[in-house]
Amino acid sequence: MQAGRQGNLWRWALAAAGLALLAAAGLLLTPRGWVAGALPAAALAADFNASLLAEARAAAGLLGALLLAVALWPRQLLALAGRLTPPLLRLDGWLRRGRRWALLLALGIVLAAAGLAGYSIARHNTFNSKAYDLGLHAQVWWNTSQGRLFAGSVEVDNYLGDHISPIILPLAPLYRLWPDPRLLLLLQAAALAMGAWPLALLARRRLLPHWSQGAHLAALLLAAIYLTYPALGFVNRFEFHEEVFAVPLLLLAFWALEVRRLGAMSLALALALLTKEDVGLTVAAFGLWACWRGRAAPVAPAHNASEESPARRTRDRGLQAVGAFWAATGLAWSLLALFILIPHFRGAESDTLARYAWLGSGPADILSGALRDPGRIAGHLFGDPRRLWMLIKLLLPLGFLPLLSPALLIALPALAINWLAGNLYQASIYFHYAALTIPVLFAAAVYGVERVAGRGRGPDGSPQTGPSAHRFTLSLLWLAACALLAFSFDQFWQPRTGQANWDNHSLARQIDPAAFQAAAALLPADGAVATTEAYAPHLANRAGLFLLHDPRILFVVDRVDWVLVDLTDHRYGAQPRQSYGLLRWVAAQRGLGVCHFADDVALLGPGCDDPTAGPAFQARLAALQGEAREEQVNPVLLEFVGAEYFE
C-alpha cells in the first residue's frame, strides 16, 4: 500500500514537472517571454549564443513531453524496456568476453583523438587559429625547448607572470623534436580523449555490484558520451591550454580513489597541480571529497577477488589523511601561485584577478561587500539567463544525473571561478574554461547512475535486492536521449562560436595561405615580428613575437624588426582604422620599408625599399584608411601615437 502511494506521488511529481516545462516552452521562452525580457537588448541578435531561446524552448518542450509520458504511461514504458532489456544484456555479455570491452574502448579513444586532432590541425592550417592562445603557448614551448625557460613576448616576457604551468618543463623536449604548434594540438586532443579510459574504469567498478549484467555496456555508453561531449569538443577547439592535461588526471584520481591506490591518486593530483594555478582549488575540493569518503569507506577487495565482490565498510584513516593533505596542498598551491608567484614574475598582480574587480579590491573587501549586499552577487550569477543556460548545457548531455551525487560539489571552485568573472564568455561552453568542470561532472554522473541503480548494501556489506533490470534499460535510454539532444544543439565543428569581437572560427578559409607563405619566406627565422592574430601561430618559433593591434605594442615597439600583416584581416576585435594607424606608426618608429606586398599581404623590414611593392602598399593602405575614416579611435591611443598616423 505504501509503495503504491509512493509510486503515485512520483507520477504526480513527474506530471507536474512535465507540465511546468511545457508551460515554460510555450510562455516563458518565447521571443516575448520572461527570458527574452531579461536579456540585454542586443543579446538575441549577438553572435554569442544567439539561439538561446530556440534551444531552451526545444529542450524544455521535449523533456516536458518525456516526463509527462513517463507519468501517464508507466506500464507501457516498462513493457518497452522489458522488450529492449534482453538484447542489451546480451550485448553486455558479448562485451565481457575476452578483451572486447577494452578493445572497443581503446578504439573509441583512438578515433576520438584522431577526430579532435584532425579538426584542430585543419583549423590551424586554414589560418583560423590565433595568437591567443595557440601562438602564445607555442612560443613559450619553443623558447623553453631551446633553454629559455617560460620566455615569451606576446603578453608578458615570462609566462609565469601570466599562468603557473610547470607541466611545460617535462613536455617541452617533445617540442624540440617537432617544433610545430600542431604538436600542441595533437597532445591536447590525445589528453582529452584519454580521459575516457579512467572514466570507463570508474563507471564499471561502481556499477558492477548493482548491474553485474549491464555495467560494461553502461560504462561504454558513458565513455562515448564523454568523447562526444560538446563542451569537451569546444575545449579542444579553442586553441591550446595546458590545463587540458588535468582532465584525464582528475578522472584517474577518481578511479584511483575507488580502488584505494592512494599513490596513483596522489601522483595524478600532483601532476594536475602542475598544469595551472587554479587547478589547486579543484584538487583541494577533491581532497575534501576523499576525506568524506574515508568516513565510511568500502575497503578494496582483495587482489584475487572479482570487482563484483562486496566490500566491507569501515573508516579509512589513511584515505582521510591523504585527502586532508591534498585539500591543504591544493589550496596552498593556488594561493601561492596567484598572490606571490605570478605577481613576482609579472611585476604586478595577476591580470586574471582583474576579472573579479567588481567584487571588491581584496578578500576582506569582497567578504564585507557580500555580507552588505548579497543580492549583488546573486544578481550577477542568475540575472543573465545565458549563464543558467550554459549550466544546463553542461548537465544536459549527462541527463542531469550529476545532480544526484554530492561529488558534484567538487566542481564548485571551477564553477565559481567562471561564473563570478566579470565577463560572460568565461561561463560558456565555447571556450576552454569548462575544462576543470568536465571530469568532475562525469565522475558525479557515474555516482548518479549508481544511485539510480537503486541497489545499496546491507549492514553486512552484501548487495540488497534492487529493482528490475528495466531500470538499467531506462537509464541507458535516458542518457542516450539527453546526449543526442545536447549534441543536436552544439557540435564543435559548427561555423562560429563565441561573442562579438572574440569569434572562434571553424574551417572556412578567411585568408589566403599562399599569400602568407610568399611573404613569410622572406622573413628571417630569428626576426622579431609584429603580426596579426591569425598569422602569429605560424610565426611562433622565435624569441620576438608581437601583435600589431595589441596595446602592448606601444611599449615594445623598440623590439620590433619586422611587420607581417594582412591588411584586410580584422577578425578578433582588430579595428581597421586603429590597426592601420598603428602599422604606420610602427613602420615610422622603426624605419621599416616595404619588402613585399601582394594580395594585401605586406612584409615590412629594415633596409627594404622595393620600387614596385612600396608604392602599391602605400596606395592600398591610404585607400583602406579612407574607407575606415569614420571609425572611432581610442583617445588615449590617439594622443600617445599622434593623430597624423590615423588620417
111-148 pLDDT, tens digit per residue, is 999 999 999 999 999 999 999 989 999 999 999 999 99
In the β-sheet with 545-547, what is the strand arrangement from edge to edge?
545-547, 529-531, 562-566, 601-606, 592-598
Other Cβ atoms within 10 Å of 378 Cβ, number? 11
Task: Judge whether residue 620 has pLDDT over 90.
Answer: yes
Pairing, β 592-598 against β 601-606: antiparallel
CA distances from 468 to 160, 209, 307, 405, 456 (A): 55, 14, 21, 22, 14
* Residues 273, 283 contacting (CB under 8 angstroms): yes
Task: Judge whether residue 110 has pLDDT over 80.
Answer: yes
| Span 311-367, pLDDT tens digits | 556 788 899 999 999 999 999 999 999 999 999 999 888 888 888 888 877 767 777
> Which stretch of DSSP H or E encloses residue 530?
strand 529-531
Backbone Cα Rg of the chain: 27
| Span 62-109, pLDDT tens digits | 888 888 887 888 888 878 888 888 899 899 999 999 899 999 999 999
Task: Bin 474: left if φ > 0, else alpha if -120 < ψ < 50, else beta.
Answer: alpha
The whole-number pLDDT of residue 390 equals 87
Please state, in angstroms and rounded to a whole number, the distance separating the CA atoms of residues 38 and 52.
Answer: 12
Q: Which positions ≥6 away from 367 have C-beta within 8 Å?
A: none
In the three-class reduction of DSSP (H, G, I as helix; E, B as strand; rest coil), residue 567 is classed as coil
The whole-number pLDDT of residue 107 equals 97
**CA-CA-CA-CA torsion sign (296, 300, 302, 308):** positive
**CA angle at residue 303 from 298 to 309, to 5 degrees?**
50
| Residues facing 529 on adjacent strands | 545, 562
Higher pLDDT, 535 or 307: 535
* Residues 633, 578 contacting (CB under 8 angstroms): yes
Other Cβ atoms within 10 Å of 622 Cβ, number? 12
Contacts 24+ apart (CB under 8 A), 123-126: 123/237, 123/505, 123/506, 123/507, 124/181, 124/182, 124/185, 124/537, 125/513, 126/507, 126/508, 126/509, 126/510, 126/513
The pTM assigned to this predicted structure is: 0.90
The whole-number pLDDT of residue 357 equals 82
Q: Cell digits for 282?
A: 579543484
| Span 507-550, pLDDT tens digits | 888 889 999 999 999 999 999 999 999 999 999 999 999 999 88
Picking from 594, 582, 600, the residue whose alpha carbon sits closest to that of residue 645 is 582
The whole-number pLDDT of residue 496 equals 64
Please state, in angstroms and rounded to a whole number, the distance separating the CA atoms of residues 154 and 569.
Answer: 19
Task: Judge whether residue 6 has pLDDT over 80.
Answer: no
> How sure is the predictor about 455, in pLDDT bands with cuts at 50, 70 and 90?
low
Task: Judge whether residue 392 has pLDDT over 80.
Answer: yes
Pairing, β 529-531 against β 545-547: parallel
| Span 137-147, pLDDT tens digits | 999 999 999 99
pLDDT mean over 138-159: 96
**Which range in 72-76, 189-193, 569-573 is most confidently predicted, on average pLDDT?**
189-193
| Type of residue numbered 72 | L
pLDDT mean over 451-478: 63
